[in-house]
Structure 1
Amino acid sequence: MNLRCLIVDDEPNAVSLLEMFIRQNTVWQLVGKCYDAPEALSFLKTHPVDLIFLDINMPHLTGMEMAALLPPSTSIVFTTAYSEYAADSYSFPTIDYLLKPITLKRFYAALQKIEAHFARPEAAAPVADNPPAAAPRPETEYFFIKSGRMLHKVLLQDILYFEGEKEYARLVTPTQRLLIYRRLKDIGEQLSGSFARVHNSYIVNIARLDSIRDNHVFIGSKQIPISEKFREAFMERIKEKVF
């Protein structure tokens, strides 16, 4: 079984051990090794994989926080020296949970679980190098946002706006303000339907706008500027709904 896999771990010795196990005991394609989550998320933008060996305790973003940002089709084997994260790990598409130091015997057990998982008819087919464009997202779609040790379910139709904060973005609904460890630009590329970029720092849900005046949109008490860069494209969409 030829699976494309990635190792993400901030410990070089742990990376080397897993690499040796994979190369000596499988025919999988090890497409990369990353030493923190931001590096891995950047790598995954251009290198699709089927399976990630993901350490939990890493700087910048933990493995759990990174897992919350991955497509649901990406299978995960968590690796860590701490057993207390085991229950939380199965909130994600987790195949196995390896405690360090990982032995060859334990790796073989994980290998059997992994290959059994991908042999199932319902398992997702490996991602094509040039996948087709995603279909438009229905407004009733939902996703989960990782915040601390909790996963928050959010309906797209409930989102008021996204506000960019350097390498992060804040998602705002009438009842929640959640921090997402992704850039606003990357979020905008995955949104469709009624979402529109109006400023370098804002994406708004047009369906939730209350009014537009001068160079601002208003959502409840929030006043959001419309920048010159995005104004023309945004107003073209608004014109479609003007009577």
Structure 2
Amino acid sequence: MNLSCIIIDDEPDAIDLVELLIGQSTTWTVKAKCYDALEALAFLKTNPVDFIFLDINMPKLSGMELASLLPHQTKIVFTTAYSEYAVESYAFQTIDYLLKPITLKRFLASVQKIEHYFSKYEPEQLLNPEQSQEFFFVKSGKTLRKIVLKEIQYFEGEKDYVRLVKGEEQLLIYRRLKDIEEQLKLPFIRVHNSYIVNYEQLSKMEDNHIYIADKRIPVSEKFRERFMEVINKNKF
């Protein structure tokens, strides 16, 4: 896949390693090598790229500070020796988080992830205006109920059944959460082993939890990346 990128790091050896790995395992074009954040910021103003490799611990301006100054749509692969920034990194359009020292095996895994992102990810699928007009029927006990999708706040898995919540109303559905997930499209998204939420009903996100009405729902590490991709596409 022909992708373009730049490498931003204050350590020349680190830049050389990433450039070497790119040359050995991809057909990507490295448009620039920047040794500080200000240099990178100036370059990116007039030179668009598909994504950037970005170190976090840099003088003058850290990678996180630079990321906050870049256009929202900028795709980022963080490269850092510090694991504690991993969660914070997904406030941006983060494709991957590479911990130093970067091995060839880990870099090859990242290549697959990056190319999969650009080949499969279709932003236009995030918003489907017809979705809010759809409905389906749910069997709850002996009753068959018509449910409008846009009114659903979330699904909660509870052992052998799923709880459907819409406002003050709750219905028990005797199916697995995984089966329900396979039938749903955005704006419904899995955020936890026990929860599928309608992100259009979300009121706020705080400390790895989201809030829908007065319900506090955890966002687990397993589902956080995909969830943040969706949220970031709709963030000012």
Query: Whole-Å Cα distance in 1 between the matches of residues 123 and 54 of structure 2?
Result: 20
Give the Å deviation of 1:45.
Answer: 1.5
Query: Whole-Å Cα distance in 1 between the matches of residues 32 and 24 of structure 2?
Result: 16
Match of 2:193 in 1: none
Q: Does 1:101 align with 2:101?
A: yes
Q: TM-score, normalised by structure 1?
A: 0.50
Give the Å deviation of 1:24.
Answer: 1.3
Aligned residues of 1:77 and 1:94 also touching (Cα < 8 A)? yes
What secondary structure does 1:68 align onto? Answer: helix
Give the Å deviation of 1:16.
Answer: 0.3
Match of 1:7 in 2: 7
Identity over aligned pairs, percent: 66
Amino acid corresponding to residue 114 of structure 1 in structure 2:
I
Query: Whole-Å Cα distance in 2 between the matches of residues 75 and 14 of structure 1?
Result: 20
- Per-residue CA distance 1:4-59 (angstroms, 9 max, x = gap): 10000001100000000001110011100000100000011121111100000001
Match of 2:31 in 1: 31
Aligned residues of 1:78 and 1:98 also touching (Cα < 8 A)? yes
- Structure 1 residues 123, 28: closer, same or farther in 2, change over 3 A? farther
Aligned residues of 1:5 and 1:50 also touching (Cα < 8 A)? yes
Query: Whole-Å Cα distance in 2 between the matches of residues 15 and 57 of structure 1?
Result: 14
Amino acid corresponding to residue 82 of structure 1 in structure 2:
Y
* Structural mapping, 1:21-60, within 5 Å: 21-60=21-60
Amino acid corresponding to residue 42 of structure 1 in structure 2:
A
* Structural mapping, 1:153-168, within 5 Å: none
Which ranges of structure 1 fall in alignment gaps of 5 or more residues?
Answer: 125-149, 151-243
- Per-residue CA distance 1:166-208 (angstroms, 9 max, x = gap): xxxxxxxxxxxxxxxxxxxxxxxxxxxxxxxxxxxxxxxxxxx
Query: Whole-Å Cα distance in 1 between the matches of residues 83 and 73 of structure 2?
Result: 25
Match of 2:90 in 1: 90
Aligned residues of 1:5 and 1:51 also touching (Cα < 8 A)? yes
* Structural mapping, 1:218-229, within 5 Å: none
Query: Whole-Å Cα distance in 2 between the matches of residues 35 and 25 of structure 1?
Result: 23
- Structure 1 residues 105, 123: closer, same or farther in 2, change over 3 A? farther
* Structural mapping, 1:88-237, within 5 Å: 88-123=88-123
Amino acid corresponding to residue 106 of structure 2 in structure 1:
R
What secondary structure does 2:69 align onto? Answer: coil
- Per-residue CA distance 1:93-136 (angstroms, 9 max, x = gap): 00110000000000001001100000025159xxxxxxxxxxxx
The structure richer in helix per residue is 2
What secondary structure does 1:111 align onto? Answer: helix
Q: How many residues align?
A: 125
Query: Whole-Å Cα distance in 1 between the matches of residues 121 and 88 of structure 2?
Result: 27
Aligned residues of 1:9 and 1:55 also touching (Cα < 8 A)? yes
Q: TM-score, normalised by structure 2?
A: 0.51
Give the Å deviation of 1:72.
Answer: 2.0
Give the Å deviation of 1:73.
Answer: 1.9
Query: Whole-Å Cα distance in 2 between the matches of residues 23 and 17 of structure 1?
Result: 10
Match of 2:77 in 1: 77
Query: Whole-Å Cα distance in 2 between the matches of residues 36 and 89 of structure 1?
Result: 19
Query: Whole-Å Cα distance in 1 between the matches of residues 97 and 35 of structure 2?
Result: 19
Query: Whole-Å Cα distance in 1 between the matches of residues 16 and 121 of structure 2?
Result: 32
